[in-house]
Amino acid sequence: MAAATSFLKASNVMRTRYAHQVTVVVLHSLLQQAYEDSGTEMVLEDCVERVAHESPTFSFWLLVYKYQQSIFMFIRAHCERKIELMVTTLQKLVPLFFALDHHNYARWLPVFIKDMDCLPEFEKGHWTVTRSNRRFSAMPIDQAHEQANKRVKGVGGIIGLTENPDMLERWIVTGPEISRVLEEFTTVNDSDDSEWRPHHEEGSASQQRFQRHTKDLMELLLSNGNPFEESSKDLVTLDNKVCESAAAAASVLKVESMGQEQYNNFKKNVLDSHDTPLTAPIKRNNLMLFHEKKTRKKTAAKLRMQHFKRHAELYVKPFIVLESRSGNLDDFFCHESSPYPPALSCEGSLNSCTKSDLLFYILGNPKSGGISDSEEIVAPDLYDFIVIDGGALIHSLPGTTVQGKTFESYFDKVFCPRDQRDLKRSTRVDIV
């Protein structure tokens, strides 16, 4: 459970990326298997487009597969210094930010894409750096800065140095030089930079591990059914086959087209014609995906009013029929008209109160048979049974430091004698 949560939050970037790599390979194999099992004569692209408009479950997993591919193409653009691939990938991802109401990314990513088209310097690959001679190892400049800062800080960073100006100045001067020496020492045995070496994930051990994890995930998904073979009109979860709401199914079918339309309008009105300012608010879609829309809880007065209206309509028609047939009115009102007793619940929820509220009915309400203020309360010598509040009993007894250091000694010396005294006055004692 903790590992799944770390994947969702991307706590470990490399581990999360690896999990998505395994997932996208398995989804590709499942899509191919579903296409081959269908026996259709249509090409794969046409078959996928047709089924995606009919099955929300198929459409959802197809979106997961497509956007995982787009994210990996974005990573490849950085590792291989391909600015055109990065811009193309971002253009595929921006509609999703519009559709899911991530307005900060939706507003500024189109501006970033337009800036990339106006800066030819980035076409030469000057937006990434390479720290090693391995293939597929380029990284953005800001990520390289973070790694350089980590080396300069060393163990402990600058904790405590800011309070001493002399030590801070000495660290600022010597830190980068020490980092450079350490970097040269770690790369002294490396081969010539002109010879590109394989990536560390191209080794046989990494490939075998990847194949093993892919096979395990494939078997797990197939045990629950191929999601690309789901043809129902409902959005069905993969593990327990629970159907999501109709609003969630409709959102999955229109999320891509809705986001693309908003993105096109934003480019046309804001970036091209400048008819709309960049700071103009973006309309929220509030798509229902995997959670129901939060409804405001109705007050007790509104619930009672609804209850009265519903029961008024319920009583009118049978009462008219009863009068026309000369029925017995007492028999008519002796039956319950609601599945839940109105005196004990409200719309199916049990009424709650505090213990002090019961004193009104015990002491202060003579009409209900309670004890009036003029009557003298005399405790009887014997009771039929005694009910004790367990929490109040524990707090009323001496602590463990007074009468014992273990639970057993506390029970024998304090708790049990207290209950035995009550048993002498009644035949039954309930502790709640």
Tokens of 91: 């253009």
Do 57 and 133 share a structural domain? yes
Do 332 and 387 share a structural domain? no
Do 240 and 98 share a structural domain? yes
Determine, yes or no, domain membership for 338. yes
Q: Given pLDDT bands bounded at 50, 70 and 90, which one contains residue 396?
A: confident
Do 360 and 324 share a structural domain? no
Determine, yes or no, domain membership for 173. no
Shortest CA distance to 237 belongs to which of 289, 295, 292, 293?
289
Q: Which pLDDT score, from 0 to 100, does residue 94 have? A: 94
Determine, yes or no, domain membership for 146. no
Write the pLDDT tens digit of every residue in 198-228. Answer: 777 788 888 899 999 999 999 998 988 898 9
Q: Which pLDDT score, from 0 to 100, does residue 375 have? A: 60
Determine, yes or no, domain membership for 25. yes
Determine, yes or no, domain membership for 177. no
Do 68 and 216 share a structural domain? yes
Task: Measure the CA–CA gap between 112 and 91, rounded to whole angstroms.
Answer: 10
Q: Which pLDDT score, from 0 to 100, does residue 291 have? A: 57
Query: Who has greater pLDDT, 268 or 160?
Result: 268
Residue 27 above 90 pLDDT? yes
Task: Give me the chain's average pLDDT, please.
Answer: 81
Query: End of a domain among 308, 333, 350?
Result: 350
* Vertex 220 angle, CA 219 and 222, to 5°: 65
Q: Which pLDDT score, from 0 to 100, does residue 377 have? A: 64
Determine, yes or no, domain membership for 189. no
| Identity of residue 158 | I
Shortest CA distance to 63 belongs to which of 116, 26, 27?
27
Do 314 and 251 share a structural domain? no
What's the domain count of the chain?
A: 3
Cα dihedral 116, 122, 123, 129 sign: negative
* Residue 268 structural domain: 2-137+199-272
Do 267 and 315 share a structural domain? no
* Residue whose tokens read 């009557």: 375
Q: Given pLDDT bands bounded at 50, 70 and 90, which one contains residue 33?
A: very high
Determine, yes or no, domain membership for 188. no
- The secondary structure of the chain, three-state, reads CHHHHHHHHCCCHHHHHHHHHHHHHHHHHHHHHHHHHHCCCCCHHHHHHHHHCCCHHHHHHHHHHHHHHHHHHHHHHHHCCCHHHHHHHHHHHHHHHHHCCCHHHHHHHHHHHHHHHCCHHHHHCCCEECCCCECCCCEEHHHHHHHHHHHHHCCCCCCCCCCCHHHHHHHHHHHHHHHHHHHHHHCCCCCCCCCCECCHHHCHHHHHHHHHHHHHHHHHHHHCCCHHHCCCCCCECCCCCCECCHHHHHHHHHHHHHHHHHHHHHHHHHHHCCCCCCCCCCCCCCCCCCCCCCCCCCCHHHHHHHHHHHHHHHHHHHHHHHHHCCCCHHHHHCCCCCCCCCCCEECCEECCCCHHHHHHHHCCCHHHCCCCCCCCCCCCCCECCEEECHHHHHHHCCCCCCCCCCHHHHHHHHHHHHHHHHHCCECCEEEC
Q: Given pLDDT bands bounded at 50, 70 and 90, which one contains residue 374?
A: low
Write the pLDDT tens digit of every residue in 345-369. Answer: 776 777 777 777 766 766 655 555 5
Determine, yes or no, domain membership for 285. no
Do 97 and 131 share a structural domain? yes
Do 69 and 204 share a structural domain? yes
Do 79 and 221 share a structural domain? yes
Do 360 and 331 share a structural domain? no
Do 255 and 362 share a structural domain? no
Query: End of a domain among 327, 350, 373?
Result: 350
Task: Measure the CA–CA gap between 153 and 160, rounded to whole angstroms.
Answer: 12
End-to-end Cα spacing for the chain: 36
